[in-house]
Amino acid sequence: MVCITILAFVMGREPHRIPVALYSADTDGQLAQQFIDTIDSQQLQAVYYPSNESAVEAVVAGRARMALEFGSDFSNALAAKLADPLRVSDDDLEDSQVRVVADMSDQVVGAFAQLYLVQTYGRFMANYSAGLGHNSLAYGLPVQTSYMFGGGAQSYRDFVAPPLLIQLQYTMAMVAPAFAMLGERLKVTMDRELCAGVRPLEILLTHGLVYGAHVVVQAVLTLLLAFNIYGFPMMGDPVLVLSLFIMEGLNGMLTGTVLALVCNRESTLVMFVASTFLTQILISGNNWPIEAMPDWMYYISVCAPQTLTIGSLRAIMFKGATILATSVCSLNSIGYMPQETALYGEFTVDETLQYYGQLYGMTDGQEIQHRILELRALLNIPDTSGRPVCRLSGGQQRLVSIAVTMIHTPALLMLDEPTVGVDSLIRYRIWQHLLDLCQNNKEEAQGAHTVGFIYEGKLLAQSNPTKLQQQYQCNTLEEYDHSTPTQYGCSINLCKLATCADPVMESMATNTW
């Protein structure tokens, strides 16, 4: 409770009244003074200095976070630039600048100071445009932001709240059972219980039930305190948040139990607990987005037990996401077809497709039915009149398996010999459809950060698309050709595959993908 109270009242409030040193040599100009008057005193606390040197000295001495200098001809130069920006002289362009010297030793405060300065400029230009009788957007920034989720009023507290709440659940649930069980081991009370006939499994179950109940109570109290009393944002279902808290608490409880069983001294346990706590804070996106990490550290972070949980909690709190949302359950964007048909034989074709459609998060029954009709037409799945899948031919079951893979229009298709045993004409239509999908999405691949080519489980090449094109002297990714017959016994040529229109492309695709 103390941690949540500190989080609610201490962290995340935007810095206010940041001291700023002002020097204006444009004593007769109106625009410099108008700009200064537009500064919000709750954001930036402006203090005048007699010279630019003294203003900069205030920054050096720590009395101000930034120094603003308005040149002697600032107003005339700015008016000339705004009146005819194409013909304004270089001297006027130089004189129309507000020269800023910033102290960025505290990056958070420095970043907010610069943000406030940009907001001041926006208000100043809107007032200037209105004063000339123009639309207030005439001289403003050419950016108009609308917030789909969250909003401009969100603070740093909203960023750190999900990870700290998750960290609190995990750590508290880990510490209590760890020290309790280790205390029983060190006091030999556990040995006495074992000699009395109590089984080890019974001891573990007792600890699990007792501290599992503690986890549930702690999760409920955290939910009530954070969202009902201190008013943390909550756009989603509180039951989902409570479930996340309980699961993360149980995760911590099991981790603490394992640590208590492998440690023989309390000092060793303290070291392990502290190491786990600090590591989770650093790599789970608690204080800085994981997208800012190097690629190798990013993948380690994703595997950490709290990273995806934090992302899920953030999506529920600020987006109103449900359990079917990609950010909460991220497998919905994958379509996987194994070599086996992997179907429930008791279902009919329509029941199978409806089942997997709902399983993949398609909640609109009409959308599922429309997609079933599209796939029936594409794959030429016959009307089996309610016949169960187990009574269909092998080729027909293969078609149903392909339809299941594509029912939710996934972003990633993983197909293992999808057209084996399928009629040659249908085989051609399937491959043509897949190639059309690739053609429609090649621009997205071109804009990706990293593209990889895989063959027989081996990564042949992985890099930035531009670097791949330069390395293999290709104009597009489709022209990538990697020939290593001694190692792989094949030649991969996506260009030939993408332009092939032969019904027997299956044989080629089997050897090249």
Q: What is the pLDDT of residue 512?
A: 33
Say what the pLDDT of residue 503 is.
36
Position 279: which residue type? T
May I ask the CATH class of domain 339-443? alpha beta
Cβ contacts of residue 486 below 8 Å, gap of 6+?
none
Cα(359)–Cα(370) distance, integer angstroms: 17
Here the tokens at position 345 are: 């034989």
Residues 6 or more apart from 264 whose CB is under 8 A from it?
A: 185
Q: Residue 58: its pLDDT value, please?
A: 94
Task: Sketch the domain layout of the chain as residue ranges.
Answer: 2-131, 156-319, 339-443, 455-513
Q: What angle, 0 to 180 degrees and rounded to 10, lies between the N-to-C axes of helices 365-379 and 424-446?
A: 120
CA distance 185 to 3: 31
At residue 87, the pLDDT reads 87
- Mean pLDDT of successive 10-residue stretches along the chain, which has 513 residues: 66 80 86 91 92 93 93 90 87 90 88 90 88 79 71 67 87 89 83 81 88 92 86 85 91 90 88 84 79 82 83 84 62 75 86 86 84 85 80 83 86 77 76 69 52 69 74 62 38 35 36 34
Residue located via tokens 């997609």: 371
Tens of pLDDT, residues 204-262: 898 889 999 999 999 999 888 888 887 888 888 889 899 989 999 999 999 999 998 88
pLDDT of residue 491: 36
Distance CA(19)–CA(102), nearest Å, equals 11
What single string gives the DSSP state of each residue in 430-455? HHHHHHHHHHHHHHHHHTSS-EEEEE
Which DSSP string do the residues of 46-104 spell out, in sequence order? EEE-SSHHHHHHHHHTTS-SEEEEE-TTHHHHHHHHHH-TTT--HHHHHHT-EEEEE--
Can you count the helices (H) and strands (E) in the chain?
21, 10
What per-residue confidence (pLDDT) applies to 494? 37
Question: Does 339-443 match 2-131 at the fold level?
Answer: no
Residue 189 sits at φ, ψ, to 5 deg, of -65, -30
pTM: 0.55
DSSP 8-state code for residue 202: H
Tens-place pLDDT, residues 446-493 = 555 566 776 666 777 777 777 777 777 666 655 554 443 333 333 333
Q: Does domain 2-131 have CATH number 3.40.190?
A: yes
pLDDT recorded at residue 190: 78
